[in-house]
Amino acid sequence: MTSIRDIEREDTDILILGSGGAGLFAALHAQQSAPEGTRITLAVKGLIGKCGCTRMVQGGYNVALGGGDTVERHFMDTIQGGKWLPNQDMAWRLCEQAVIRIRELENEIGCFFDRNPDGSLHQKAFAGQTADRTVHKGDLTGIEIISRLMEHVLARPIRKLQEHRAIGLIPTRDGSALAGVLFIDMRTGRFRLVRAKCVMMGTGGGPTMYKYHTPSGDKTMDGLAMALRIGLPLRDMEMVQFHPTGLLAGDDTRMTGTVLEEGLRGAGGQLLNARGDRFMFDYDQQGERATRDVVSRGIYAEMRKNNDPEQVGMFISMSHLGPENVRRKFAGMVKRCADSGFDLAGGKVEVVPTAHYFMGGVVVDPDTRTAIEGLYVAGEDAGGAHGSNRLGGNGVANSTVYGGVAGDVMGMDMRRMGALRDPDEQVLAAEIERACHPLRRKPGHIQNLRHKLQEAMWEDVGVMRTGPGLQRGQRRVAEIRAELMETGVDPSNLAFNLTWHDWLNMASLTEISAVIARAGELRENSRGAHYREDFPEPGEMEASYFTVARQKGNELELEREDVRFTIVRPGETILPEGEPETLVAAQ
C-alpha cells in the first residue's frame, strides 16, 4: 500500500483546478497578470475541453448590452431572482463585468455568437428576467465558449495535468495558509502532491446525488467536499437548483435528466399535464416564464396529482410555434429529443425537474479569496452570487467573470508572496489514508449505493421538503455512508481503476448530501430553490439570513448569518445611474 514516501512531488506557482469556464479563464488571466516567469499549472479530472459543465451550457450568457437593458436592471433581476439572499457585491460585479467579458470572448477569444440582421448580438428571453439579455450560439453556447478557450490554453506554456483527480487541499502545519493539493494520477493510480503559492478551485458543483440530474456522473462535488474537510465555511448549502425541464427518456439511458433549455419556454413553449391542459398559470402569473424554482415546483405538484404509473413527468409542447421554426431555432434540442424517440418540433416531450446547479458553495469575497491564504474559488464552487436561485444565463457568465477575476487577483497576489509553503505532513497522510480506505475492504456494489443515494435525496431532500422528510433523508444518507465505508475496491491494478473513482465519487456525494439535508432542516422558511411545505412562507426580506456550514473535527456545525444589503434593500430598486441617491421604492 502507498506510503507518504512513495508519492510524487512537484512545485508550481499558480495551480488551477478545473477546466470549465472558470478554470480556463483563470489560466489565461493569470498568465497575463502574473510576473514574468511564473509557473502556471492546470489540473483537471478529465480532459481539457472535454469535461466540466460549461461545455454543456445550451441556453446562453446573460449580459446587459443596451436597448433598454442596463447593468442595474440585470442586477435587480439577479437579486430579486435570488430572493434577496445573494452577496450583493458579488452579484453587482457579475452583472457589471459580464459586459466586459462578452467583448473579450468575441474579440480576443474568438467566439461567434448569433446576431441580428443589423449585426448586433442577438439576445433571447429567459425566465425571471425583465429584458431579453441572453447572448447565445444557437442552443450550443457552452461548446462554442469552451472550444475557443481550449484552443488558447493549449497554445500557451501552461503545464497541463489531465486525468488528475484532486482529492485533498493540504494546508501548512499551522493551518493559516494552503500549501498545495494532493492528486491521484488516474492514468497510473499514483499520488502526486503539487505545491503552489496560489490555488484556484473551479471544479464545479454537480448535484448528481439526485435521481434526475443534468451534469455528467463524474461531477460529484469533490471541491466542496475538500473545502469542508479543510474547515472552510460553506454557505447556502440547501440551495439546489432543479431545472424544470429535464428530458425523461426512461431508466435505462443517461439521456434522462439532460436539459431541454429554458429558451424553449422563453420562446413560447407550453407545459401540459396528463390531460393536455396548460397548468403553470395555476402556480404563477408568469406561467411557463416564471423562475426555475417556481416552474419546477409546478411540474412536481402536477406529478404528485397524476396516478398513472406509465407517465412519470409532464410534457413540453412547441408545435404551436410551427415545426419548421422550432427545428431552425432549436436544432440541437430537436436532435437530442429525436435521438431519444421524441418529436420536439411537432409533438410532445415528457419532462421532469432535474438537479442542475448548486447555488451553495465556499464563502468567498468579490475577489474570489477565501478564509485561508493562497486559496481562491470561482464558478459553481463559490457561494454567494446567486443566493437562493440562479437565473438562467447567469451561470456561464458567473464562471467566466469570476474565473478572470481569480486569474487577475492571483497574478497580483503572487507579487507579494514569498517562498512555497511546506505542507502539513499529517494532513497529507490522512488524505492518502482516506483515499486508500476502500482498497483494504472486500469489493462490493458501489453503483447500487449510488442509486440508493439518488432515491433518498430525490424523495426526502428534493424539490419540495418537510422537516420529517429532511430528518429521514439524513438518516438514509448516514446509512448509505456507513455501507460505503464497508464496501471495497479491487486493489490489484489502480491505473484507470474506475471502480476506485466511483467509490471516491460516492464519498464526496455522501459528505455533501449530509450538509444539504442539515442546511435544509435549519432553514425554516421557503426561499427560491428551497421549499419547505411545513414552512411555505418566505419570511421577512429585511430579516434575510443565509446558512453557513463548517466541519470542526468530526462534527458538522451549522449557523445562520444575516444578509448584508450593501447596495439595495428590500422594497427598493436601483436606477441606471447607480448612485446611492437613485434608490427608489420598488413597484
Cross-strand partners of 550: 557
The letter for the amino acid at 521 is E
Report the alpha-carbon distance of residue 516 to residue 462 in Å, rounded: 10
What are 491's three cell numbers? 486493489
CA gap 262, 61 in Å, rounded: 12
- Nearest partner of 144 among 131, 156, 135, judged by Cα: 135
The beta-carbon contacts of 520-526 under 8 Å, at least 24 apart in sequence, are: 520/238, 520/461, 520/465, 520/470, 521/467, 521/470, 521/471, 521/474, 522/238, 522/547, 522/558, 522/560, 523/238, 523/547, 524/467
**Residues counted in the chain:** 587
Placement of cell 410534457 in the chain? 315
Residues with active-site annotation: 292
- Integer Rg of the chain from CA: 23
Long-range contacts at 301-305 (CB < 8 A, ≥ 24 apart): 301/464, 302/273, 302/274, 303/352, 305/273
Q: For residue 304, what are the CA distances in angstroms to 56, 224, 285, 397, 401?
A: 30, 32, 21, 35, 39
Q: Is 4 helix (H, G, I), strand (E, B) or coil?
A: coil
DSSP assignment of 98-118 equals HHHHHHHIIIII-----B-TT
Give the dihedral sign, CA 242/248/253/258: negative
